Amino acid sequence: MRHIQRRTLIAAALSVVTSISIGLPAYAQGDGKPITIVVPYAAGGTNDNFARLLADGIGKELGRHVIVENKPGANGIIGASYVARARPDGTTFLLGGSGPVSLNILLRPSLPYGFDSFDSVAMLFDGPLTITVPTSLGVNSIDELVAYGKKTGQPLLYGTMGPGSVSDLYGRIVSKTFGIPLTAVAYKNNNSALIDLMAGRGDMNYATPVPMIQNAKNLKVLALSTEKRSSHFPNIPSVAELGYPQLKTSYWTALLAPKGTPAAIINDVAAAAMKTVKTKAFQQVLIDNGQIEKTGGPQVLDAQLQADREHWGKVINENKIVIN
């Protein structure tokens, strides 16, 4: 009788374990190795903060230990190269974006990775650029800026994060669209560019909205690089509504994996990541940093990469920009 009861208890326990396993994603039943999200920037920055929230959410969703590893340097190339070379076993992912992935690949022919080095996992969010001038310039609209640029007869100076950066390329689009000459000035970081802009040592900047609005006494945001007005910044017109739809652009952030990562793993991680982005805590950080949710699975990210080839690739080719 005792043997029968024991067998019954064991069978019941196995049934419970099986039912729990069936309810979990396949990836949660892995070998227990930690998942690493590689951030191609230094610790403590905006992308690092996003990555740690993401790691916490994915870990809870999949029942796995998820860590963040910062591999900064070379405009994101060091971190992206590391992930491109990693084993496609579902333990290594890249928190990539427009710069480390698309722009580096399009600008640098000798890069140790390409678009085919990664599998798309999930699109997470993106953010608009601003067209901003110092208040000392006395310009209060895009029309006034264009008139000012044509009247001076001198190229207007705009700050960038270096040759081939989003801000550098966007300035070239602005120059062509407005028909005014612009000259790029490279800075080590956006804070340095803003200090010079507020002091009147620059004429324009294309950075994220939040720091610009926080310095409204010294800076005037003329437009956002969006199709419609942002609900977070309702007083700032969009470039499209002002008659310049060709100036619409953004910089995105997404998860990528080494090429050959199993589809089942990609789908599990994508679902966990997108669910994390929709949490209240993550949404608040997006708002605080002027970012906009843009979640989607591998196909959405694939489409974004193709759009980058067409959009930024055209700008790069027209301006004959090559970085070795």
Write out the chain's pLDDT in tens, 324 residues.
444 454 544 444 444 444 444 444 555 545 568 999 999 998 988 899 999 999 999 999 999 999 999 999 988 999 999 999 999 999 999 999 999 999 999 999 999 999 999 999 999 999 999 999 999 999 999 999 999 999 998 999 999 988 889 999 999 999 999 999 999 999 988 889 999 999 999 999 998 899 898 999 999 999 999 999 988 899 999 999 999 999 999 999 999 999 999 999 999 999 999 999 999 999 999 999 999 999 999 999 999 999 999 999 999 999 999 998
**Tokens representing residue 67 in the block:** 């860590």
**Tokens representing residue 9 in the block:** 């208890």
**Tokens representing residue 17 in the block:** 């374990």
**Tokens representing residue 72 in the block:** 């900064």
Same domain assignment for residues 241 and 262: no
Q: Is residue 189 part of a domain?
A: yes
Which domain-ending residue is among 200, 220, 247? 247
**Which of 266, 209, 247 shows the shortest CA–CA distance to 58?**
266
Same domain assignment for residues 230 and 256: no
Helix (H, G, I), strand (E, B) or coil at 285: helix
Same domain assignment for residues 275 and 314: yes
Helix (H) or strand (E) segment spanning residue 196: helix 190-198
Residue type, 50: F
- How many domains does the structure of the chain reveal? 2
Q: Which domain holds residue 112?
A: 29-127+250-318
Which domain-ending residue is among 225, 247, 269? 247
CA distances from 99 to 62, 168, 182 (A): 29, 11, 22
